[in-house]
Structure 1
């Protein structure tokens, strides 16, 4: 009997352009969405090839950050901001919802394959939720108006922050850099 260990897959379309997976001139929306697509792909690329145990490893004590926790967190962020807040979809929260740290705290290698698949499955749903929302459309966020444009800027900030974490975590797990 051959035992095959699951490893996190490479993204379907690996990052190819230096800045974005979309245009770098022209209308604002395709540029913003292309950059978001690139950041999503970068997260998957940083995780690619690692086992479930490696994804769940917390190599920078006392921090509880792990690559799997970041995957779970960013799946939750996609759902909360794009599907629940912008599109108003009535979908269940992921990993405890906003303000709950179970996305990081409960990262378990036994569920890594499912959690990575959840992240990947969330992306086209988030894109569909965002597709009909004009950049100037406003949502209520804690009693204040917030435009879709500002939400996208927040998404870029969220990914940028966590991709830096992901790069450091990956290097500590197996020495790989430059993804």
Structure 2
């Protein structure tokens, strides 16, 4: 994923958002920072660990969060903003939380690859677009969203779920941190 790099020890590095950037660069920077934070929270864990619901009775897992955020990237940037008619990645009418339900055949490597692809497709979908541009899709009340709103919502979405990821990771192996 282009938001992160690795250091000489193979650890994921996150680029700190600029403190003086213009609005678009600032929004991109904070969203990429939160995307990278999710990757950091999942790094170095095995398949069993990323599947572990560490806070029962919740079904929340790191793998589920990665799958969920792949769906969210797809939804807001391509479906809502551009009006693309795309199938859900994991959820269905019968299982609206399908992103958190997986089988033995589903792997974290696959989930991570799908998420990284959706992040890249989201970036491409809005590259060069004005923050004032209105979405093709509408809210339940018929309102359109401007791209600025979508960015702000996505930063909030990642920040909230990264808090969940932080708690999950601490329960798994005691790792804490930003």
Same topology, TM > 0.5: yes
Closer/same/farther in 2, CA of residues 74 and 107 from structure 1, 3 Å limit: farther
Paired residues in the alignment total: 165
Q: Deviations over 1:81-138 (max 9, x none)?
A: 0011112233322112699211012375742110111111211111000113211111
TM-score by length of 2: 0.85
Which residue of 14, 17, 25 corresponds with 1:30?
A: 25
TM-score by length of 1: 0.85
User: Which stretches of structure 1, 4 residues or longer, exceed 2 Å deviation after superposition?
Assistant: 87-92, 105-110
Provide the secondary structure at the position in 2 that maps to 1:12: strand
Instruction: Tell me the equivalent position of 1:41.
Output: 36
- Greater Cα shift, 143-152 or 103-112: 103-112
Which residue of 106, 109, 121 corresponds with 2:102?
A: 106
Which ranges of structure 2 fall in alignment gaps of 5 or more residues?
7-12
Closer/same/farther in 2, CA of residues 60 and 133 from structure 1, 3 Å limit: same
In structure 2, how many angstroms separate the alpha carbons of the residues matched to 1:112 and 1:119?
Answer: 10
Across the aligned residues of Structure 1 and Structure 2, the Cα RMSD in angstroms comes to: 2.0
Instruction: Tell me the equivalent position of 2:59.
Output: 64
Instruction: Tell me the equivalent position of 2:168.
Output: 169
Mapping for residues 3-152 of structure 1, pairs under 5 Å: 11-12=4-5, 14-17=13-16, 20=17, 23-96=18-91, 100-106=96-102, 110-139=106-135, 140-142=138-140, 143-152=142-151
Which ranges of structure 1 fall in alignment gaps of 5 or more residues?
1-10
In structure 2, how many angstroms separate the alpha carbons of the residues matched to 1:155 and 1:109?
Answer: 29
Contact 1:56 1:107 in 2 (8 A): no
